[in-house]
Chain A
Amino acid sequence: MFVRVHILSLIFFISGFSKEPTAGEKLFSLHLKPLFAEKCMACHGDDPEKIKSDFDMRTRESILRGGEIFEDEVLIPGQGNKSYLYLLSTRVEEDLEMPPKESDKLTYEETGWIRQWIDHGAPWPSEQRITEIQDKYAEGVQVVTSKALSDDWQNRRYKEEKLWAYRPLKVEKMPAGEHPVDWFINRRLKRVGLKHAPDASARELVRRLSYGLTGLPPHPKEVRKFEKDFNQSKKALSTYAKKLMNSPHYGEHFARHWLDVARYADSGGFANDYSRPNAWRYRDYVVRAFNHDKPYDQFVKEQLAGDEINPNQTENLIATGFLRMGPWEQTGMSVFKETRQLWLDDVTDSVGQAFLAHAMQCAKCHDHKFDPVPTRDYYGMMAVFSTTQFAERNASFLPSEPRNNFDSFTALVQSKITSYEKQKRDLQEKINRLRKEETGSAKVGDNGLDPGDEASQSRIYKNLIRHQIELDRVQPFTHAVYTGKTITRNNVQGRLDMPNSPWQKGYFDSDVIYDGGDVYSEGDTVIPGGLSAAESLGKMDSTPFPAGKGKRRLALAKWIVDKKNPLTARVMVNRIWSWHFGRGLAGNPNNFGGTGELPTHPALLDYLADWFMKNGWSVKKLNYLILSSDTYRRSSRHPDPKSLDEKDPKRQFYACFIPRRLVAEEIRDSMLWASGELNPMVGGIPVRPDINSEVAFQPRQIMGGTASVYEPDPLPQQRNRRTLYAEKLRGLRDPFMEAFNQPGSDASCELRESSTVAPQALTLLNAEEVQDRALAFAARLLREQKSDPAVIQRAFELSLGRKATGEEVVACVMRWKSALKSENKKKPVHPSFPKKIKRTVMAEKTGEPYDFWEFLPASTSYQPDLQRSQTDARTRGLAHVCLVLFNSNEFAYLD
């Protein structure tokens, strides 16, 4: 082999370019060869067994021969305009557009190449000559990667601009004394000839900062102080920012951002949606990490490999919960090998998205269509996790983990268990009494039993298991992983214990490429690794990862936080930027590949990424840097909107601040905050707030029956916590949160959306939970203020962070008075809360509905929030005004 190659290159050397390539040859070698490979060959040659429409594009001869539909008219050398190879590529033939997918369609330039190439006689140079021509003339960049599935892919070229994320940081020198954010942002504004907006007002800024750093509104006292200080010196902003970052609510708010990326949930989803009783410890770990300003590199390492670093550190074990955050279950109806693979795919993709802004799934079945990520890299990264196993590991509670409500929670779950156990006994007694010897004809009722009772038996059995699992919530376990062999499991219900010796029982998952993504089709062997393009283009030192029983995840974690890794710091800096400005410097925080939006300010992104690493990967310091810029202070209103529309239609140059709607959690938290009901306690087991009762009482199908009814926590101070702490069940979403675009926990969410639809208005106008807040808000106001105008002033301060104008006071007082008249006529009745509810579901054995009673043991101790029956008409009248304030645009939007 070597000899032959040697001789060939010798011939090249002697001959050089025997003759200059023709225009046709160049077109083919530089453009059409790679174009055919990317867009056509998947159906017309890559797999000779499966050639669509019998049209084979592997050689000039086979193209000339044509296929099923077109024959020699496919390629008529010299006549591009008449050749169907060209015509179909221009998509003029309905149903025969090529390539078939609209998203794959060729550009005008590309179809032009095909036509011209045919016009030039459709020459097809030899492979050697193609290489020769490419080496001399090709534009674009080749990327060294691990190894592609095909040579064409391996040799393909990329536009330089699409490779920005893999290149080492380019850190520009900046004039001394300049603020880096402003220097880069203003340079761009100057270039496009756009003036920036002036500073926002102090009142706008104090709200922007407070929500931006804590997700909560500023206290009226803070507003007044900030206004005074800021008008004296702009430094007041930095001082206030520091103060906010020292508040424990900062960590909660930033955790919420990160948990969107990690897709945190307290249950596993799918058919059973079993509780993940210890997941909350991961949620609190993230809160603590942000509050303590844990260096980001450490944060990454702990989540990926905390156990491999030091399993005796509780915090390390808790952190690995990240790896298990996706939806997952294994039941008697699933094949373990497949669900295991489901997790491996999930973790590979989510690690790629969260830390490297790469949707790895795109490279699972074939080399990545756009990015330099070969399938081998996908399976290499998957191999990092092939020895990672699930366990609920022993981890005693840290002093920083609040254990409030442990007893009340246990009592509540226990009361449900007791109730089900009693039902089970009663039912068993009845069944024992009625059961008859079966005749063997297998008919319903042949056993003498009521099919509804039989269904109830399985339902009760299942709910007992479900609640037993929940009891682990207060046990010192953590939802974690260990490194060892894979053990086949048929049915996973609840806690998985650590084996005594992780390498004894079980098997090694194969570290291979699964051809076409099929877990039963093993291909080439792979070794654990990261993204090879990041190594080659980023000029990283590539150190091999261990395989076998080695610490594979630790190796990956170190690779990710290697300061030479071109992606990691950029990715996190971009996220933090997007959390402050509502959009990333690169528009897709989870996708830095060629299909993601290119960065609008690459130099700034690189500068900040470098700065971030040099400043100890400190998120707080980076926040501080960003918030102390002029850019952050800008008003959301541009003085010259016409010029803004013209020069920055996409609003990507930061000439003004982009206003934003509060996210779902902020809306609820702010209402609780204004009404004075918010319990600001930080951390702890999930809480169960009041949710829409129709949804709470709706029977929810799970495998084997109907899940027990959702019951809110009994005491207001337990329920009225920040929304971050609300139990997040994949199978039962809070409709309030859903209405306001809280993402589901199935996929990683890079940035919140904010739609405006009428159901949101229905929720804020009619939902019981909003009515309750408005009433409590009114009661609070009347406790604190005497005169009508003072009450209204206070209402504005607490809900909108400002004083009301005279006109507003008049309007609100008028509304209050007319509402008072209406309320005077009403005699609110104290609502009763059911102790049991009747449910009707289908019995599987009969295909007919049956009823059963569901007991609500928690509701015996349920204390509602302030009720209309407990208030006078004056309070209830004011509640209408409060409701309006909660519905107002000013409440929902930040300038």
Chain B
Amino acid sequence: MKTQNIVATLSRREALYGLGTGIGSLAFSSLAQAENIHSIGPHLTAKAKRCIFLMMEGGPSHIDTFDPKPELAKRHLQRFKRNGERESAMSSGERYFVKSPFGFKKAGKCGADFSSEWYHLKNYADDICFYRGCQVESVNHPTACYHVNTGNRFGGDPAVGAWITYGLGTLNENLPGFVVLPRASYPQGGASNWSNGFLPAEYQGTPLRPEGSPILDLNLPTGMTRGDQRGNLDLLAQLNKKHFQQRPQQDELKARMSSYELAYRMQMEVPGILDIDGETEKTREAYGIGDLKTDAFGRKCLLARRLVEKGVRFVQAYAGNWDSHDYISRAHGSLIRSVDKPIAALLGDLKARGLLEDTLVVWCGEFGRTPDNGIRGGGTSYGRDHNPKAMTMWFAGGGTKAGHTIGATDDIGAEAIECVHHIRDVHCTWLNLLGLDDNKLTYYHAGRYKQLSQFGGEVIKDLIA
């Protein structure tokens, strides 16, 4: 093929920066092998090589999942008033406490707490490191999501996945380094949640859409055959070649020519990568695929495993919406069940394949929930508002302290009181586990060197094995 020559003459730098980690750098597999491509890290000895981030959008309640608060049962429906300059309309006025509708059980040798709705995940209690000390700053969904995803409440900055791919490169040039598995409806704040921000465009998260075409415009348009397209690409190559011959100094023209061949191959290869029909029935069942309740997130978890196995550096999968202001029992009940089996299967699968050791799995929302609620629709609702001061997140694999619960919240779950850290410290720890130093992983933009933690933070050593 004509383009082979072009590819061969592409300098390494062009190959890497021109097309690099954008999805579909398939032509470069021979060049790239399985080494780290254009990484600026790692800076440290890495415990994890890759990461799966299970983003529980909407803000799951720690009180009803992993952080039991018996004290709330005593105060159930006790009323009080709250006002103040720093309170939003949501958190002001008449309030009442709400107990958790769920019972709690200890699981594993470590005796971790699980609410009764978790049937499957509790089998992996000893593989999980629960963390109850994190605090965020924002009580609003988009700003809090931006904060957890990008370190900046107001959006516009690179996502964790973008930073990590920037720092470590990709392990497989045939795939993007950072893949996002969103729900059909994107989270509040939209695609800025997986933005490359000020980093080069190739570090942007590539969303694989759950419905329709997984990547926009991946499919041939109506009425176009593969043969038609090949004919068009050949004419294109002919015109471009002549144009390029007159401008041999213009590297970007070469890169652009190659990108068309890459796009052509992507159209044929990407669907195969995403096709989970090849997995065994047993595996599919384990992930809950085929069962309406668990199918959506089960597919994401299975796809996440397939992608990291193929060398994708960072996969983010969305589940939600956990924003249960009204009926914790039903809403959180169904949500927990929708993710419980898939996540358990994912952990089991990673373990069985020897991947969990160096794969960091992170589970969190953008904030936790309050032990109390406001008047809803004129009456009482057993739900909870947003709580930036307390939440539960957990980690598995990747060098985290398995079988431990770190930090604690007060006796009603209103505020973290032990091992309390700002989300920026979680970000620093996250990078650290992947062998990256937040203070070194910087990018010069708008007058200063920017970093994920914004202005620096500390690694939470308690979370690291």
Q: A interface vs B, CB < 8 Å?
A: 94-95, 97, 100-103, 269-271, 327, 331-335, 337, 342, 353, 359, 361-362, 365, 369-371, 438, 440, 442-444, 451, 490-491, 520, 588, 590-591, 593, 595-596, 636-638, 641, 659, 661, 692, 694-695, 698-703, 706, 731-733, 735, 738, 741, 744, 746-747, 753-763, 765-768, 771, 807-808, 811-812, 815, 818-819, 822, 826, 828, 831, 840-842, 844-849, 868, 876, 880-881, 883-885, 887-890, 892-893, 895
Contacts and interface: CB of A to CB of B under 8 A. Distances in A.
Contacts of B103: none
B256 A756 contact: yes
A359 B260 CA distance: 39
Contacts of B439: 97, 100-103
Interface residues on B, range: 35 or more
Contact of B209 (A694, A731, A808): A694
Interface string B252-277: 11011101101100110000000000
A332 B188 contact: no
Contacts of B133: none
A292 to B, nearest CB: 32
B238 to A, nearest CB: 6
B231 A847 contact: no
Contacts of B437: 102
A765 B219 CA distance: 10
Given A332-B89, A332-B90, A758-B25, A811 B235 contact: yes
23 contacts: A95-B44, A100-B439, A101-B449, A102-B449, A103-B448, A333-B140, A442-B380, A491-B89, A593-B447, A636-B250, A661-B252, A698-B184, A731-B189, A757-B259, A761-B259, A762-B216, A828-B222, A840-B184, A845-B324, A847-B334, A847-B335, A889-B240, A893-B250
B217 A847 contact: no
Contacts of A590: 446
Contacts of B201: 741, 753, 755, 757
Nearest to A359: B447
Contacts of A831: 222
A101 B255 CA distance: 35
Contacts of A695: 216
Contacts of B351: none
A362 B447 contact: yes
Interface stretch (B16-24, B46-54, B418-426): B16-24
B354 interface: no
A450 to B, nearest CB: 13
Contacts of B389: none
Contacts of A97: 439
Contacts of B156: 744, 746-747
Interface stretch (B80-88, B122-130, B301-309): B80-88
A758 B253 contact: no
B243 A890 contact: yes
B18 A766 contact: no
A483 B350 CA distance: 61
A753 B23 CA distance: 19
A616 to B, nearest CB: 32
B278 interface: no
Nearest to B446: A359
Nearest to B22: A757
Nearest to B213: A694
Interface of B: 18-19, 22-25, 44, 58, 85-90, 139-143, 154-156, 183-192, 195, 200-202, 209, 212-213, 215-225, 227-229, 231-232, 235-236, 238-240, 242-244, 246-250, 252-253, 255-257, 259-260, 262-263, 266-267, 296, 320-327, 329-335, 338, 379-382, 386, 437, 439-440, 442, 444, 446-449, 451, 455-456
B442 A102 contact: yes
A365 B202 CA distance: 32
Given A103-B449, A270-B142, A759 B23 contact: yes
B44 A270 contact: no
Contact of A815 (B188, B231, B381): B231
Contacts of B451: 101, 103
Contact of B239 (A443, A846, A890): A890
Contact of B236 (A333, A758, A846, A888): A888
Contacts of B255: 756
Contacts of B89: 332-333, 490-491
A870 to B, nearest CB: 13
A334, A841, A885 interface centre (most CB from chain B within 10 Å): A334
- The B contact surface, by secondary structure, is loop
Please name the 8 residue pairs, one residue from A and one from B, whose CB atoms are nearest each other, closest first.
Answer: A103-B449, A757-B22, A761-B263, A847-B331, A332-B89, A102-B440, A699-B185, A758-B24
Contacts, number: 308
A885 B19 CA distance: 22
B379 A438 contact: yes
A334 B91 CA distance: 9
B90 A818 contact: no
B243 A701 contact: no
B447 A591 contact: yes
B235, B244, B320 interface centre (most CB from chain A within 10 Å): B235
Given A595-B447, A847-B330, A758 B185 contact: no
A700 B143 contact: no
A362 B326 contact: no
Contacts of B19: 756-758
Given A701-B187, A758-B19, A847-B333, A335 B86 contact: yes
A871 to B, nearest CB: 11
A850 to B, nearest CB: 12
A760 B259 contact: yes
A76 B202 CA distance: 49
A90 to B, nearest CB: 15
A342 B154 contact: yes
B463 to A, nearest CB: 16
B296, B323, B331, B386 interface centre (most CB from chain A within 10 Å): B331
Contacts of A733: 190-191
A216 B147 CA distance: 40
B85 A761 contact: no
Contact of A844 (B88, B232, B238, B326): B326
Given A103-B449, A591-B447, A765-B217, A888 B86 contact: no
Contacts of B326: 444, 844-845
B11 to A, nearest CB: 13
A701 B90 CA distance: 19
Contact of A845 (B44, B142, B320, B330): B330
Contact of A442 (B238, B331, B381): B381
Contacts of A818: 231
A155 B60 CA distance: 51
Contacts of A698: 184-186, 209
A672 B222 CA distance: 20
Given A588-B447, A845-B326, 16 more contacts: A271-B189, A333-B90, A333-B386, A334-B88, A335-B88, A444-B326, A694-B213, A694-B216, A733-B191, A758-B24, A759-B23, A759-B24, A762-B263, A847-B335, A868-B222, A892-B256
Contacts of A365: 455
B217 A692 contact: yes
A476 to B, nearest CB: 32
A653 to B, nearest CB: 15
Nearest to A763: B217
Contacts of B442: 101-103
Contacts of B223: 826, 828, 868, 876
A756 B185 contact: no
A11 to B, nearest CB: 43
A271 B85 CA distance: 22
Given A844-B321, A848-B334, A440 B380 contact: yes
Contacts of A811: 235, 238-239
A50 B242 CA distance: 66
Nearest to A758: B24
A881 B380 CA distance: 66
A421 to B, nearest CB: 21
A633 B252 CA distance: 22
